[in-house]
Amino acid sequence: MSTLGRLLIVSNRLPVSALVSDGVVRLSAADGGLATGLRPWHQSSSGLWIGWPGDVSRFSPMQQAQLDDQLRAGGIAAVHLTSDHVDRYYHGFANRVLWPLFHYLIDRVPLNAAGWDAYRAANEAFATVVAREYQPGDVIWVHDYQLLLLPALLRQRLPEARIGFFLHIPFPASEVFRVLPWRAEILQGLLGADLIGFHTRAYTRYFTNALERILGVVAEGEFVHAGGRAIRLGAYPMGIDADRFAALARDAEVQAEAATIRSDAGDRQIVLGVDRLDYTKGIPRRLEAIEHLLGEEPELADGMRFIQVAVPSRGEVDSYQRFKRLVEEAVGRINGARSTIRSTPVHYVHRSVTERQLVALYCAADVMLVTPLRDGMNLVAKEFVATRVNDDGVLVLSEFAGAAAELDSALIVNPYDVESVAGTIKRALTLPAAERRDRMARLRERVHGYDVHAWAREFVEHLGGAPGDAAATRAITPGVTTR
Ligand code: ADQ
């Protein structure tokens, strides 16, 4: 896999969560896309995963020591943060300020954007643990918007280290980014890395624009020079474990569950939405589009079932609580106005579902709606595609999801144009079979061709070669295209 040294992966949350049952500390694997993609690297390099294990303030000192031992045995080093700290750094600055701003929703940034000091202190706490664990030759890979200052903090402590950074959310256009009072500090923080990765070329370009405007640092090709070092920038569109999703779709139990979902829908076509309940995902406008469509084509109330699964998310943040009520009201309003004696058009499920249930839903759907207002990538779109092993089904995809740069055979929509989304849903429901198959085959080729393993491999290999000559590192991964 790699001739590099150990890989130290640094992310806010760990790929495991801890709980105490019968007085004993137990760890359970949290199988996010990132954990799937990086686990082989973590294991094969005997590396470490460094992150926050969640709120363990209720654990006794003995349980905390047990937890640290168990984590250590699994190649994990914990960064312990107090709950007050997490409140101000994570729920506060990261999720209340950076998240909406980076998704272009400036109005959602609180008037008094607080938490910068806590954010910096949390990044310092991560730097202390990483520096303590670091051994010469290790390669460090830092993840996401909670840790934007970490690369420079590490560079101060470990001038020789190889440090990579990957941003999982969009990097906004510089006109939006420069609204942030701490814009220069954040850019300086990132420039501590040797390699900075984004999902798309557009985000990379916005980042170089911001560097030029705010710091006066001009990129040359895929490199910028700062602090006497060459820093490489690139687009690495994150994929999924496509083979695993395809295998799940072929599983007999999953197929049986999909068949039940279909028979429950009777002769109606199934339109599906699956999202974290987050205001960036475009759920209210998607519901508006469904309502508009039902207004134009009332007979569809008996011909279509829209299933929206929304995973509870960030309930600690007040704007998310208000948002939850807004979505529930919209569902109630549409069902009140558009239900018939036979059916209720919107089937709203506000809870997490298991991965198998999720795949069964993907398999049962005729049309998948992925219409975020902004999304760094959006893995749901790729998961849907990977499960369509019969090459059928239609993906309707927002042009503002990073995934749209790769999945251009989807029906691409502007999620703000509600009427046009409604028209596209209608088109999706009536698309001829040959066109559905042709589009889906092309989508599947892309999703399988550049999966999460290829993504991780390309980034780590470029990091191994950074700062260095691009030709040498490109030669390691022939045929891989980055957008
Ligand atoms: P998220 O905003 O969380 O990720 P996304 O990429 O869609 O968005 O990933 C969500 C994950 O949660 C998917 O793997 C999906 O299977 C799972 N999930 C969604 N709904 C679920 C449900 N109801 N029950 C169970 N599981 C569910 C951030 C960025 C994205 C970027 C990723 C990865 O916001 O833009 O694609 O990181 O970089």
What is the secondary structure of 311-361 as a DSSP string?
E---TTSHHHHHHHHHHHHHHHHHHHHH--SS--SEEEE-S---HHHHHHH
Region 295-324 average pLDDT:
90
The single residue listed with the structure tokens 């599947």 is 444
Q: How confident is the model at residue 475 (pLDDT cuts 50, 70, 90)?
A: very low
C-alpha span between 44 and 244 (Å, rounded): 20
Q: For residues 184 and 215, is the Cβ–Cβ distance under 8 A?
A: yes
455: alpha, beta or left, given left = phi > 0 and alpha = psi -120 to 50? alpha
Decide whether any atom of ligand 1 lies within 6 Å of the 480 Cβ.
no
84 dihedral zone (left: phi>0; alpha: psi -120 to 50; beta): alpha
Contact at 8 Å (CB) between 93 and 114? yes
Catalytic-role residue among 42, 103, 143, 168? 168
Answer yes or no: is pLDDT of 209 > 50.
Answer: yes
Residue nearest to atom 4 of ligand 1 (CA): 378
| pTM assigned to the model | 0.94
Closest CA to 21 of 57, 59, 53, 62: 59
Q: pLDDT, tens digit, for every residue of 90-105?
A: 989 999 999 999 999 9
What is the three-state SS of 124-182?
Answer: HHHHHHHHHHCCCCCEEEEECHHHCCHHHHHHHHCCCCEEEEECCCCCCCHHHHCCCCC
Asked if 429 contacts 269 with a C-beta cutoff of 8 angstroms, the reply is yes
pLDDT value at position 309?
Answer: 96
Over the Cα atoms of the chain, what is R_g?
23
Two tokens at 457?
């491999």
What is the mean predicted confidence (pLDDT) over 117-142?
97
Nearest CA to 369 among 432, 327, 421? 421
- Measure 311 CA to ligand 1 centroid, in angstroms: 9
Question: Per-residue pLDDT for 473 more than 50?
Answer: no
Active site residue 168: yes
Q: What spacing in Å lies between the alpha carbon of 80 and ligand 1's midpoint?
A: 25
Query: How are beta strands 139-143 and 394-398 bridged, if at all?
Result: unpaired
pLDDT (0 to 100) of residue 3: 54
Q: Confidence class of residue 58 from pLDDT cuts 50, 70 and 90?
A: confident
Nearest to 379 by CA among 203, 280, 258, 237: 237
- In percent, how much of the chain has pLDDT > 90? 79
Residue 406 sits at φ, ψ, to 5 deg, of -100, -40
The least confident of 316-325, 346-355, 440-449 is: 316-325
465 lines ligand 1 (CB under 6 A): no
The mean per-residue pLDDT over the stretch 130-140 comes to 96
pLDDT digits (tens, 9 = 90+) for 244-272: 999 999 999 999 999 999 999 999 999 99
pLDDT-derived band at 478 (thresholds 50, 70, 90) equals: very low
375 is catalytic: yes
CB 167 within 8 A of CB 142: no
The dihedral over CA atoms of 197, 199, 201, 202, expressed in degrees to the nearest 10, equals -120
**Would you say residue 10 has pLDDT above 50?**
yes
pLDDT in tens, 23-42: 889 898 876 778 877 887 78
Q: Give the pLDDT of residue 45.
A: 77
Decide: residue 319, CB within 10 A, 0-12 exposed, 13-18 middle, 19+ buried.
middle
The pLDDT value recorded for residue 4 is 65
pLDDT, residue 267, reads 93
pLDDT, mean of residues 178-196:
97
Short-list 168, 200, 205, 193, CA closest to 37: 168
- % of the chain at pLDDT higher than 70: 95
Q: Is the pLDDT of residue 477 over 80?
A: no
Q: Is residue 396 in contact with ligand 1, taking CB distance under 6 Å?
A: no
Residue pLDDT, tens place only, 388-431: 999 999 999 999 999 999 999 999 999 999 999 999 999 999 99
Per-residue pLDDT, 363: 98
Give the per-residue pLDDT at 471: 36
Side-chain-side CA neighbours of 466 within 13 Å: the count stands at 30
pLDDT value at 482 more than 80? no
Q: How far is the CA of 223 from the centre of ligand 1 (A)?
A: 30
Closest CA to 429 of 345, 334, 319: 345
Contacts of 104 (CB under 8 A, 6+ apart): 170, 172, 173, 176, 373, 374
CB distance 378 to ligand 1 below 6 Å: yes
Q: What is the DSSP letter of 74?
A: T
d(CA 107, CA 113): 12
The values of phi and psi at residue 281, to 5°, are -85, -5
> 410-435 b/e with 16+ CB inside 10 Å = b?
bbbbebeebeebbbbbbebbebeeee
Confidence band (pLDDT; 50, 70, 90) for 385? Answer: very high
Distance from C-alpha of 8 to C-alpha of 134, rounded to nearest angstrom: 8
Q: Average pLDDT in the 467-483 region?
A: 35
Which of the residue ranges 4-13, 265-274, 283-292, 390-399 would you say has the lowest mean pLDDT? 4-13
Pick the residue whose CA is nearest to atom 8 on ligand 1.
Answer: 378
- The CA distance from 112 to 395, in Å, is 40
Give residue 176 CA to ligand 1 midpoint distance, Å.
24
